[in-house]
Every structure is written in C-alpha cells, then in structure tokens.
Chain A
Amino acid sequence: MKKVKILSLCFLCFVHLLISGCWDQKIFEEIGLALVLGLEHTENGEILYTMTMPVFAEDIEETMEILSTTSDLLRQSRDQIRNTSGKRVEGGKIQHIVFSKELAEKGIDKTLDVFVRSSENPFLANIIVVDGSPFEMLKMSKDYKDKPRLGVYMANIIRHARANAATPESRIYNFTILQYSETIDPVASYISFDDTGITIEGSALFNGNKMAGNIDFEKTGLLHALMGEKIQFGYYIKAKDIEESVSSDKRGVSILLYRAKRKIEASCADGTAPEIHISLDLTGIIDEIDLDYRLDEPDDKKNLEEKITMLLRRDFMNLLKYLQEIGSDPVGFGEIIRAKHNEYFKSVSWKTVYPKVKFDIDVKINIEFYGALY
C-alpha cells in the first residue's frame, strides 16, 4: 500500500511537471521574439529602447509590433516592455542592434554587457549605427509595402552588402573582443533610411568604443583590403580621374578587386613616430570599361594598370589620413606594433602616437580578365 502511495505521488509530480511546465521552460509561441533592437539617447540622458516583434495571429492585421520604453538599464527596459506586450519578451533571437549616431558617439560598450553576460542572448547580433533615430526608422519600416518584415529585410541587405565588402562584418562578439583589446578599433555597419527603404551607407568607425567617423561603401571596400580580408569589392574610376585629356563622353572603368594580399612592416625608433610600410597585391577583373584603352594590347593594359595603381594608392593614402584624423585604427596597426615591437609600444601611448605615424603604401594590381569584350 505504501509503495502504491509513493508511486502515485511520483506520478502526480511528473504529470504536474509536464502540464505546468518546468522552471526554465520557454514555450515558443508564448514568447515575444525581439528581432531588432533600437537604442538612442533621450533628452534627459536616458536610453530609449525600441523593439520590433513579429506578430503571427491571423486575426490581427499588423505583422509587426513595435514597442518602446525609456530607462537606464537594458534589462529594466525589457522588463518594462513585458508589462505592455501580451507575450513574454525574450531577446535570444535579436538579429540587429541599431544605435543612433549620437549614442554611438558617446560610447556603446556598456549597453552590450547584457548580451555578453547571458548565454541565451546572441553573441552574433549585428551592430549597426543609423544616421538618425532608430525609433523613427522602426516606425517607418512598418509602412514599407514592398519589403519583408524588418528583421528579415535588414538581415538580407546586410548579408548581401557584406558579401561585396560594402559594410563590415561586425557582430557583438568581434566588437566586444576588439573593444577590450585596446589596440584594434572596432567598426560597425552604417545605414540611413527614408520612407522607401533602408540604405547601407558604409561603415561607422570607432575610436575605442566611441564612434569617431564614417566612410562610404566604396571606401569600406578599400578598408577591407587594408585589413587583409580576402573579400571582393568594386572599385569605380571616373574617366576624368584617369586621363585629363580624355573626351567628355567617356565614362570610366569599374573593376572588381579580389585576392588582396597584404604585408605590413613597421619600423619603430625611440622618440619618433613609427613608419609603417604597407604592400598590397590586388587582382582585378574589369567589369565595365568606357575609356580609350585597348585591353588586348599589352602596353595599353600595362598603362591602364599603372594609372589604376596610382589612383588606388591615392585613395588608400586618403583613407589612412582620415583614419589618423579621427583616431580610429580598425586595421590594427597598434596590434602589429604591440606584437612585433613590444618594447616601443610599451614606451608610448598609442593613441597619441597614431596620428603622427608615417604611412607608405605600395599597391600592385594585376588585371586578370576583362570578360567577353576587349
């Protein structure tokens, strides 16, 4: 009899577990999945936290729910939103975190704490800086008639942009790692929006964890080549940049650059700023050309390559100058000097020395193909 009682008690507990759910159970349809998170400062210094969640009920017309609240801490905001939303809001599936430019300029390391700390939260969410207010952007995205749901839409445009090096790969994990390293500065995607859709502008450059500047998508491609990433990007040259005397109806040339081989050598002497020599080997394919060059003539081709090399060198130097101006080092020159010239690195403060570094870049380009036409 006693055995039966114990057994039935166990059975009841078991069934109770099954029905009422366990302590950490999060049933999928009861969860509000936040897909995009927008963060910006309000006038009184608090953080405005906006979130989009997809809605699936057939009797509700809207496909997206946008909720926002203000507070100082992210967790506090999430709990506040749970009081409004009908579902239990969870952040485990956040695809993108969108910062306003102002917030990014003030520094974003503290807001990422909750994402690193909780193992449920993704380490892989994209970090995006928007020119404007994320709240406005999320509200406006509801009216995009010809675009899919915002989370999916943004994921798609960012993925395609990354494949073309129009925007960098910046997720929470590499942002945090680079932030902690103090020798390489992180980068993030930079976007803008209007009532027709979202546009990838390029990259947002950071000095430490504060945003310092931004570059367009063409320069982002160059930045990737400098960082040594094996990625393809398009490089566009206007006709008048190649030859001053070219006729006005020629348009220029568009090259797909890939297979960037980079070598960086630094020479450091005590008391002076380091000299960094970069050599880049690029391979290119001509996608579109409207110039006076005959590509089947070896001399002409060589000439064109030399001209392109010159222009590339100029653009790289301008980019490096801009990076020095804003104090951002995404390429990791500081890291290279720390690794290879450790004594020198320890004797100076890298942030003050970086703007004074003398760069010298040696670019080589080899045009491999030019398609089915000469």
Chain B
Amino acid sequence: MLLIQEKLKNCPDLKQKNVFIEEKHEAWFFYIYQNIDNDLLQRDFISPIINMTYKQLSDIKTVKNIPNGSIKLVYTTDEAVKEIFSGSAVFVFELIQYAISCKIDKVEKRALEEPSTEKNIRGPHEGFLEVLEANIGILRRKIRSDALKFKTVTLGKITNQTVAIAYIEGIANKDLVEGLYDKISSIKLDGMPAIGFIEQSIITHPHSLFPQFLNTERPDRAVAALLEGRIVILMDGTPVVLIAPVTFISFFHTLDDYSNPWILGSFLRAVRILGGIFIAVFMPALYIAITSFHYYAIPLELLLNLAKSRVEVPLPPIFEILILEITVELIREAAIRLPTYIGTAVSVFAGLIIGQAAVEAGIVSNLVIVIVAATATASYVVPSTDMALSIRIIRFIFMLSASIFGIIGIVVCTTFTIGHIIALDSLGQPYFTPFSPFSLRGLKDSFVRLPLKKQKTRPPETKTGKKVRSE
C-alpha cells in the first residue's frame, strides 16, 4: 500500500478513495480521475465491492462475479501501478493477496471525420481515431469475420503504448506476419509520438528517399489492404496506420479507381501517374537541360517567344527555376501551419508575386512560371503524402543533374532512381513489382485498372497462400 502511494506521489490526477470493508478493514480504490467513467466506477465497481465481505473478497470466484466486463487480478505492485495508468481502477485491500483491477476507461475521442489529406469522391468519409480500441472496433465492424486477427504488443519504456498488427488469417502470409511481429517487438524506444517512429525503426533501407510503408488514415484503405493479404500496423495515440508490404505503384492508387467503372478508373490512374511522376519530375529538368545544353531541340515557333521572354532575365535557367521552386516549397510549408483565413490571403499574395511581378521585374521568364505552376499542381496529384514528398526531393536532384550534364544527366538520374527502386524492398518483398520482377498477374492492377472480373487473383507481393480471391 505504502509502496503504491510512494510511486504515485506528485500525480494530482490520481484519486485515492478510502473505504472500509465490513466497516472495519481499510481498503483503497486508486484511479486516474479523468480517464475513468465515473458512473460505471461508482455503480459497477465501488458499489458491489463495498457490499462484499472479507470472505467474499478472498474468494476468487465471487470476485470474478462482480458485474463488470473486465475484472483482472494483479499480484505485484508494479502490475498494479501499470493497471492504474492504463485506465483501470484498482482496489487494494491488504488482507487479500491480490488487488482487483477493473478497466472502465472513458477516453476523450473525436467523432469519425474524413481525414483532410485523403479525400475522395465516391467512398466512405470516415477516418481512424487516436484510440487503438476504437480503431480495432472500426476494422471489426467492417470485416465481420473471425479470420481478422490482431497481435498486440506494448512498446515504449515510458509511454507503454499498445501496438497492434492486424491481418486476415489464411490470406496473409504467416512468415511475413511473424517476421513483422518480431521486428516490432524488438523496438526499444522511450515512446512513440507518431507512427513514423515505428516505421523508421523497422525499415530495411533507412536512407532511401522512397517510403516503404503506406500511411493511411482511412479505414476503407486498410480494409482493402487486409483483403489483399497485406498487414496493417495500428498504434495507440495516432489515427495513422501503416500498411505493409506495399509496392511503388500502390502509392498512386486510391479508392476512387475502384469505385468507378474500370475505364474511368484507369483514366484517373493514368492521369495520376503521368502527372505525378512524369510531369512533376521531368518537366523542370527537361526545361533546364534544353535551355542550357540543347538549344536546338526547341521548336522554331516556341524559340522566338522563349527568346523574347528570356532576354530580360540575367540568371541562368537553373537559378531561375530554383528560385521559383524554393519559393513554392516555402509557401507549401507555410500553408500547412497557417490558419485558413490567413492561408487564402497568403496564397493569393504569393500567386501575384510569383506571377506578374517576378516576370516584370525580370527575375524569371514566362515559360518558367507555367512550368513551375504545372509541376506544383502535378505534384499534388499523388495521393500519398510520403510519396509526394519523395517526388519533390527527387525533382531537385533531377534539376541539378540536368543543369550540369543536360539530358544525359536526366538519363543518368533516371537510371539511378530506377536502380534504387529495384533494389528496395518493403518487408522483404521487391518494391517495384509488378514491373520488375515482371508479373503479369500484378500488372492488371498497376497503372491501369482492369475490370473486376479480370482481377480474380491477389497481388503477388503479399505472398499470400490463397492466390484466388473469394474462393
């Protein structure tokens, strides 16, 4: 008793209720006031226990009959303290060998809202919450099957957060699940404020620019991944979940591709890949390569207009584009942190500056503004923010190498990037499937989306035991 009180010094949110069993023996209830449902505490825990006799309390069977969903018996002080901080009320009575713990937590959680970074048109508008149990509940509600299993582990020496690995038994590959579970269990950190901490601890290529796990806040995405045989990692304290194993092309898929008919879905996907990869990465680099090295590749009609607009500009093309790109990046970062009412004003202001004034001041030329604007728009087309960030960084590398070696610099960078992507793996599975290693099965759902009738098999990277869906 004294030990517990010693440990719980300087915790003003902790309540110690002093009671007397059979009106003579002293006992204590410990609980964190904010995290407990006080109604249930008083009605279903304190009330029955106060009315029990010492004999009844010593009898485990009677104790277990207390009308509450989760009654647990703890035998050590440390366990008891742990229970108190995990949202349980603990009843400590020195005359019995155990303490009785009861989980009646009531956590403040927000309503189910659509995540602001992952919107869609035709699907559900729900998002995960910060509470792990609620998230598990959401998944359970969507997959009403006993095959949906969760393996939990408590991580964080100080924070004691629960991390759950969700998978569908029979579909997900057992070795992958076991391997992932072992990796996660061996994480030794004080605490994890965001799921990125788990991601960075278990990643096989920490220095790569490309994300190897897919982040999402949408339950429908997690459900789709589970049905394909992928594994979902959930963590207490964050609505973002990780999906593994993923491929490069998964970062360009959204639910809208599947909820629309296949031609429209394929069109949307093609627009996304064309815009997100080719325009966002290659356009500024090509502009720099052509105006710095290969002037003869410019069409004649464009040549005269381009020359007219460039003649005022004192800087070489690489610096022109770098100035604008860095400005756009600054605006992007600022826009995340600004409140909405200032945000709109700033974007108008920035547009004015970058647009008209910069050209008239002679800092940049017209064509560069068009290119940078198109590139910025194209880079927003990528559904995954991690991949969008990677593409932004790669674009700078391409621009720099184009300014030094022209189009061959772009070719070398492309080769390097593709070589790097091929060498990557996500949870041991090759990252650039279905392109390399080539898999015709996986190609049906890559940069096009073939009709649902043709998509009878699951993707190859999940190494699932059940290749054919709905058998």
Contact = CB atoms under 8 A, between A and B. Distances in A.
Q: Taking the complex as a whole, does A directly touch B, i.e. does some CB pair lie under 8 Å apart? A: yes
Interface of A: 17-18, 21-22, 24-29, 31, 33, 54, 56-58, 90, 92-93, 95, 120, 122, 149, 151-152, 155
A235 B301 CA distance: 33
Interface string B400-413: 10011110000000
B308 A56 contact: yes
A90 B310 CA distance: 17
Contact of B291 (A22, A28, A57, A120): A28
A22 B404 contact: yes
B311 A57 contact: yes
B293 interface: yes
7 contacts: A22-B404, A24-B406, A27-B292, A29-B313, A56-B304, A90-B296, A152-B301
Contacts of B290: 28
A331 to B, nearest CB: 32
Contact of B296 (A29, A122, A152, A155): A122
B405 to A, nearest CB: 7
A167 to B, nearest CB: 19
Given A26-B293, A29-B311, A54 B304 contact: yes
Main secondary structure of the interface of A (DSSP, over half): loop
A53 B432 CA distance: 49
A149 B304 contact: yes
Contacts of A25: 292-293, 406
A24 B295 contact: no
A155 to B, nearest CB: 7
B303 interface: yes
A157 to B, nearest CB: 14
A92 B293 contact: no
A280 B42 CA distance: 108
Contact of B403 (A18, A31, A120, A155): A18
Interface string B306-331: 11101111001111000000000000
Instruction: Tell me which of A18, A29, A54, A152 has the highest count of chain B C-beta atoms within 10 A of its own C-beta.
Output: A29
A27 B303 contact: no
Contacts of A58: 311-312
B400 A28 contact: no
B404 A92 contact: no
B300 interface: yes
Contacts of A155: 300
B318 A151 contact: no
Contact of B318 (A18, A29, A90, A122): A18
Given A31-B295, A56-B311, A152-B304, 14 more contacts: A17-B404, A18-B400, A18-B404, A21-B316, A22-B403, A22-B404, A26-B295, A27-B291, A28-B306, A33-B303, A56-B308, A90-B296, A93-B296, A155-B300
A134 to B, nearest CB: 20
Interface in B224-239: none
Contacts of A95: 300
A25 to B, nearest CB: 5
B300 A120 contact: no
Contacts of A29: 307, 310-311, 313
A206 B207 CA distance: 65
Instruction: Tell me which of B308, B311, B400 has the highest count of chain A C-beta atoms within 10 A of its own C-beta.
Output: B311
Interface residues of B, number: 27
Contacts of B304: 54, 56, 149, 152
A149 B298 CA distance: 17
Instruction: Tell me which of A27, A120, A155 has the highest count of chain B C-beta atoms within 10 A of its own C-beta.
Output: A27
Nearest to B314: A29
Contacts, number: 67
Contact of B295 (A17, A18, A92, A149): A92
B377 to A, nearest CB: 25
A291 to B, nearest CB: 44
Contacts of B311: 29, 56-58
A354 B335 CA distance: 79
Nearest to A31: B295
A28 B307 contact: yes
Those 10 A-B pairs whose CB atoms lie nearest each other, nearest first = A92-B296, A28-B291, A56-B311, A29-B310, A56-B307, A28-B295, A56-B308, A93-B296, A25-B292, A22-B404
B295 to A, nearest CB: 5
A25 B317 CA distance: 11
Contacts of A33: 295, 303, 307
B296 A120 contact: yes
Contacts of A28: 290-292, 295, 298, 306-307, 310, 317
B222 to A, nearest CB: 43
Contacts of A122: 296
A132 to B, nearest CB: 25
A152 B300 CA distance: 8
Instruction: Tell me which of B303, B312, B400 has the highest count of chain A C-beta atoms within 10 A of its own C-beta.
Output: B303
Interface string B110-154: 000000000000000000000000000000000000000000000
B300 A24 contact: no
Contacts of A120: 296
A26 B403 CA distance: 11
A58 B313 CA distance: 12
Interface string B56-96: 00000000000000000000000000000000000000000
A155 B301 CA distance: 11
Contacts of A27: 291-292, 316-317
Contact of B405 (A22, A57, A90, A149): A22
B363 to A, nearest CB: 14
Contacts of A92: 295-296
Instruction: Tell me which of A31, A56, A149, A152 has the highest count of chain B C-beta atoms within 10 A of its own C-beta.
Output: A56
A105 B367 CA distance: 46
A82 to B, nearest CB: 16
B310 A26 contact: no
A255 B293 CA distance: 49
B312 to A, nearest CB: 8
Contacts of A22: 403-405
